[in-house]
Structure 1
Amino acid sequence: MITIKVISFARIGWDPTLSFAPYRSESRLKQRRWVQAAFGEKDTLRTYEALQQRETCIFLASLMQTPEDFKLHITRFTVALIIETVYGHRVASLDHEYVMLMDRGMEAMNATGPAGGGIMDFFPLLKHVPAWMPGASFKRKALHARKLIHDAHYIPFDMVRKAVASGDARPSFAAELIEKAEKSGRLDGEENDIRFAAGALYAAGSDTTKSVLLTFLLAMVLYPEVFKKAQEELDRVVENNRLPTLEDRPNLPYIDCVVKETYRWNPAIPLGIPHFLTEDDEYNGYHMPRDTHIVTNLWAMTRNEEMYRDPSLFRPERFLAPSGSIDMGVEDPRSIVFGYGRRLCPGRLFADTTVFLAVASIAATLNIDKARDAQGNVVTPSAKFPSSFVSFPEAYQCAITPRSPNVMALVEETLANILSST
C-alpha cells in the first residue's frame, strides 16, 4: 500500500489536506467524502453548469477586449470558478482579496520545487537545520510559504463562517458543510477538516486548470491545422446563433480529443503527487522496502512511445478511430493525469467539464494565431515547460481575434440570459 508523506510539503503546511493526509485517517476520509459528494457525482455537476457557462462568457469577453492579457484572463477564469463554488464569493477581477491571497500561497508553493523533489525530501535530516544558517534558503522559502498557505486556508474560511453565523452566506461548499456541522453540534470537531478540504480544492483546481488552458492556447498557436479542424467540427454541430454547452460534448469527438491531447502533451503535475510505501513491495524485479519514496513520472508515461506514437507532437487524431468516433483502444490520459487508484482526484469531473467548455467556446468564437513583433515579424513560441510542481508553458505571445463581427454580441446575449435565469 502507498501513502503520502512528503517532507517538503508537510513543512509548508499541506499535511492536513486531502491530498497529503495519512491514507486511513478519519480526517482524510471525511474530506474525500465531502469533496466527492460536491464535485465527483454527475448529478451534482449539473448544479454548476450555469456558473461554468457564466464564467466562460466573461472569459471570452475579456479575451476579445484585451487579448494581450490572455494569461491574466485565464487566471481570473479559473480562480473565479473555484472561489465561488468553494467559498461563495464572486470574483470580478484579479484584485479580489482572496485571489491575491491564494495566488501568493500557490506561487510560494511552486517556488519550493517539484512535488517530492525538494532537498528535504532527499535529505530528511535537513529539516532540523535552522533557517538562519548560510545555505538554508530552502528552509526560509518553506517558512515563507507556510505563512502564506496558512493565511490562504484560514482567512477565506473564517469569512464564510462569519457569514453563516450572520445569515448572509452565499451557497458554497464551505458554507454547506459549516451549516450542517453547526446543526449537528460537530463544528468544533470538524472545523479544521472543512477548512483544509476547502483549501485543497483551491490548490488542486486553480493552477492545474490554468496550466491546461495555457497549454491548449500554446498548442493551437503551434498547430493551427488542429484548431481549424476543431472549429470545423463546431460549425457542423453547433448552430451559429448560440455557444456550445456541455450537452454538445457527445457530438464533438474531435474537441474531446483536443482536450485529451492537451492533458497528455503537458501533464499539469508532471511528477504527480509523491507517495511512500507503507509496506515492502516489488516492481519489475526491484525490491522496494517500506518507506521508499515513490515518484510517479506522469510526464514519462504520457510521452511513452509504445502508448503514443510521436509523443512530442500535438496530435489529437491519435485518440480517434477511423470512423471518427473516440478510439477506446488508446489509453485515455485522464486515467493518469488526475491520479489513480484510491488517490484519484475526486474533483476531476468538475475540472474536466470546465476545461472542455472553455476549449469548445474558444474554438467557437475566436481565432488563435502567432503574434507579430514590432517589426511585423511572426513570433513562433517554443514548446518548453520549465520544471515546477505545476507545469506551465514558458511565457509566450499569441494573437487572439473574434471569428466574426457578431461574436461579441452573441457572448453578451448569452451572458445576459444566464444572469437573468440565475
Structure 2
Amino acid sequence: MALGASPSVSTALQVGAVVLLLGIIICSMISRSRLPPGPNPIPILGNLSLPVPFRPKFEKWAKEYPDVMTLRVLGIPIIVVNTRQSVLEVMEKRAAATAGRPHQIMADELCGLAPDPFRSNDWDMHKQYRRLFNSVLGPRAIQAYWGTQTRQMHRAALEILGAPDRHMEFIRRAVADIAFQIAYGIEIESYDHPMVKRVNEGLRVVERVVVPGNFIVDIIPFLRYLPTWFPGAGFKKQAAEWRAHFDATRNMPYDAVKADIASGSSKSCLAVAMIEHDAESKDDKYGENMIRWACASVYGGGADTSVAALQSFLAAMVMYPEVQSKAQAELDRVVGRDRPPTLEDCELLPYCNAIVEEVLRWQPVTTVGLPHSMVNDEIYNGWLLPKGANVLPNIWAMTRDERDFPQGDKFMPERYLTPEGKTKEELPGRQIPLLFGFGRRICPGWQLAVANLFAGIVALLWSSTMSAEPGTDIKWIEHIAINHALDFPLQAKPRFPGVEDVLRSTLAE
C-alpha cells in the first residue's frame, strides 16, 4: 500500500477545507453586516468618488444615518463619526483602539513620511514625541511666544490699514513669521522667503499624496516593487523627487539652528529648547530626527489652518457688522485706545474670546478630521468597528448639530456667553477642541494655534473698521485638506485718529 492519506481521509480533508472556507466567507459577510449602515458603495471602488461639495453631503448623511456610519473605499471600511457624543465614545473613551493612522504606500513608504510622529504608528515614538512637545509647548510654556505672536499681528494690522487690498498677503506673512520664529528663531520679512516657498510647495504635494486613490500604488500595492524604468512606474521617480524635497525642507532650517548654536548666536525657539531637552534626556532613542519632524510640524501643521481661520473671521466681520461693533466696544472698555491689545488681555475679553470660538465653529477649516485607524475590533451601540477600518470625524456635521449649536449657519458669538456676558463654563466646543484632533492624536500645539487666532482677531478689531463694497458675495472653497473663503476686496479704515501712530510706536518698542 502506498504511503499517504487514505481516500476517506483525503475526502474528509477536502470537505473540511471547504467547510473552513465557507466559514470564513460567512464570518466575513456577518462582520460586514454588523458594520454601521451607510450610503451604497459602487462595486469594487466603493465610495471612492466622494461628492463635491463635501459639506452638504456629509451634513445630509449625518441626518440620514446613525451617529456612526460606514463608507467604503477600495474595500476598506471608513467609519464616519457624526456627533459630538459619538466622538466622545469612539475617539476619546476608546482612544487606544482608535489611535492608529492609515498606512499609505505612496506617502509613507515612497515619499518617506512614515517617520513623521504625526503619522507614525510607532507608539514608543509617538509617546516620546508628545512628551517632547509637552515639555516645550505646555500651557505655561507657550506664553514665552506670546510676544512674537502679538507683535506680528500688530504689524499685519498696520500693513492692512495701509493696503487693505493686500490683506491676505500680510496675514500669510504674519502667520509664516510667527511659525518660523517659534520653531527656529528665523524672521520672515516676506511671504516670498525661500524657506516659506519651499515649505508651501511641500504642503501642496502632501495634500496630493495623502488622498486615497490618487496613486495606483495605493490601490495595487505590489507595484511598489517595480523598477523605476518599468512602464507605468513613473510614480516611483516622482516619489523620489518629492522625498528629496521633503528631506531638504525639514533639514534646511534645523541645520541653520545647529550652526547658530555652534557659533553662539542662536535665538530662543522650539528647536533650541528641544535640542537642550534631548541632550538631557536619558531614554531618547529617536534623537534629532524626531526634533526635525517636530519643528517642521509647527508651520506645516498650522499655517494653512491659521490663515484660513483668519479669512473666515474677516468674512464674518463683513457679514455681521453688529458683532464687530460689540467686540470693539469691549476692547475700548477694557483696553482703551492708548495701546493695542495683547494676549495678556485674553481673560478680560469674553466677547472677543467668543468670536474666536465661533470662527472655528462657523466655518471649520476642514469638513472631516484627519483619519484615524482602528487598532483592534470594538463594538459601539451594537455595531462592529473592525480592526483596520479608518475612522473619520464628521466635523462639519458636528458644527451644525442643532442640539449643540442652534441656528448653526449663523455667526453668533453669544452662544458661548451667559446673559450677563460672561463665558459659559460648559460648552460642547470646549469639551473637545473639534478642529484639533481627538484622543491620542490631538494636536499638541492647539493652544498655540488658538493664541495665534486671538492675537490676530483682537489686533484687527482694535485697529480697523472692516467692510466690503455693498453687494460683495463672499464665496467659500471646499478642499479635501483646507476649506477657506476666497479672497475678497476688504475695506479697512482706521477706527480712530492716531491708531496707526499707536501701532508704529508699539512696534518700535
Structure-2-length-normalised TM-score: 0.73
**How much does 1:5 deviate?**
2.2
Once the two structures are TM-superposed, the CA of residue 118 in structure 1 deviates from its matched residue by 4.8
**175-184 vs 102-111, which deviates more?**
175-184
441, 452, 464: which one pairs with 1:354?
452
Q: Where in structure 2 are the equivalents of 1:331-370 lying within 5 Å?
A: 331-332=428-429, 335-370=433-468
- The equivalent position to 2:347 in structure 1, one of 250, 271, 291, is 250
Are the equivalent residues in 2 in contact too, given 1:275–1:294 (CA < 8 A)? Answer: yes
Q: Indicate how the Cα distance of structure 1 residues 251 and 140 shifts in structure 2: closer, same or farther if over 3 A, else same.
A: farther
C-alpha separation between the residues in 2 aligned to 1:315 and 1:122? 46
- Residues in 2 aligned to 1:132 and 1:301: alpha-carbon distance in whole angstroms: 48
Report the equivalent of 2:269: 172
2:419 aligned residue:
322
Q: In the alignment, which residue of structure 2 is the partner of 1:374?
A: none
Distance 1:62 1:127 in 2: 53
Task: Flag as ranges the 4+ runs of structure 1 deviating above 6 A.
Answer: 129-141, 183-188
> Aligned pair in 2 of structure 1 residues 183, 276: CA closer, same or farther (>3 Å)?
closer
Q: What is the aligned partner in structure 2 of residue 390 from structure 1?
A: 482
Counterpart of 1:42 in 2: which secondary structure?
Answer: coil
Find out whether 1:19 has 2:118 as its counterpart.
Answer: yes
Alignment coverage as a number of residue pairs: 407
2:301 is paired with a residue of what secondary structure? helix
- 8 A Cα contact 1:178 1:187, kept in partner: no
Q: Is the 8 A contact 1:221 1:370 kept in 2?
A: yes
**Any conservation in 1 of the 2:305–2:365 contact (CA below 8 Å)?**
yes
In structure 2, what residue type is equivalent to 1:397?
P
* 2:213 maps to 1:128: no
What code does the residue aligned with 2:449 have? A
Q: Which amino acid is 1:260 matched to?
A: E
Give yes or no for contact 2:465–2:493 (8 Å, CA) kept in 1. yes
Q: Partner residue of 1:407?
A: 499
Give CA-to-partner distance per residue, 1:378-419, whole Å, 9 cap, x none: 3423342322312222332221222123010010111122xx
Structure 2 CA distance for partners of 1:341 and 1:182, relative to 1, 3 Å: closer
Task: State how far apart, in whole Å, the 1-side matches of 2:359 and 2:336 are.
Answer: 26
- After TM superposition, the structure 1 = structure 2 runs for residues 155-170 of structure 1, keeping only pairs within 5 Å, are 155-170=252-267
Contact persistence 1:17–1:28 (CA under 8 A): no
The answer as to whether partners of 2:223 and 2:233 remain within 8 angstroms in 1 is no
Distance 2:229 2:464 in 1: 52
Deviation at 1:183, TM superposition (A): 7.1
Secondary structure, aligned partner of 1:415: helix
Contact 1:120-1:127 within 8 A present in 2 as well: no
User: Contact 2:101–2:373 (CA<8 Å) still a contact in 1?
Assistant: yes
One-letter amino acid matched to 1:234: L
Given candidates 160, 176, 184, the residue that maps to 1:63 is: 160
2:324 paired with 1:227: yes
Shift of 1:97: 2.2
Question: Any conservation in 1 of the 2:374–2:391 contact (CA below 8 Å)?
Answer: yes
1:211 aligns with 2:308: yes
2:476–2:483 Cα contact (<8 Å) kept: no
- The within-5 A match list for 1:253-272 is 253-272=350-369
**1:357 Cα shift?**
1.5
User: Match for residue 134 of structure 2?
Assistant: 36
1:290 is aligned, of 362, 371, 387, to 387
Please state whether the residue corresponding to 1:332 is helix, strand or coil. helix
Please report how far the alpha carbon of residue 132 of structure 1 lies from its aligned counterpart in structure 2 after TM superposition: 8.6
How many Å apart are 1:135 and its aligned residue?
9.1
1:4 and 1:250, CA in 2 relative to 1: closer, same or farther beyond 3 A? same
Compute the RMSD of aligned alpha carbons.
2.8
What per-residue deviation string (whole Å, max 9, x for no partner) do you get for residues 59-104 of structure 1? 1121122221111111111111110111111111113221111111
> Per-residue CA shift, 1:276-330, capped at 9, x if unaligned?
1010012333212110111112122112222111212212122222121122343
Q: Tell me the amino acid that sits aligned with residue 474 of structure 2.
A: S
The whole-number CA distance in structure 2 between the counterparts of 1:233 and 1:23 is 48
Provide TM-score, normalisation by structure 1.
0.87
Residues 208 and 214, structure 2, Cα contact 8 Å, conserved in 1: no
| Larger of the two Rg values belongs to structure | 2
2:6 matched residue in structure 1 = none
The code of the aligned residue for 1:221 comes to V
The reply to whether residue 240 of structure 1 matches residue 337 of structure 2 is yes
- SS in structure 1 opposite 2:444? coil
Structure 2: stretches of 5+ with no match in the other structure:
1-96
- Whichever residue aligns with residue 473 of structure 2, its letter is P
Match for 1:272: what amino acid? G
Q: Which moved more, 1:250-259 or 1:323-332?
A: 323-332
Q: Which moved more, 1:7-16 or 1:74-83?
A: 7-16
Partner amino acid, structure 2, of 1:18: P
Q: Greater shift after overlay, 58-67 or 321-330?
A: 321-330
Match of 1:87 in 2: 184
TM-aligned CA distance change 1:132 to 1:121, over 3 Å: closer
Q: Which moved more, 1:74-83 or 1:230-239?
A: 230-239
Q: In structure 2, do the counterparts of structure 1 residues 295 and 365 end up closer, same or farther at CA, with 3 Å as the change threshold?
A: same
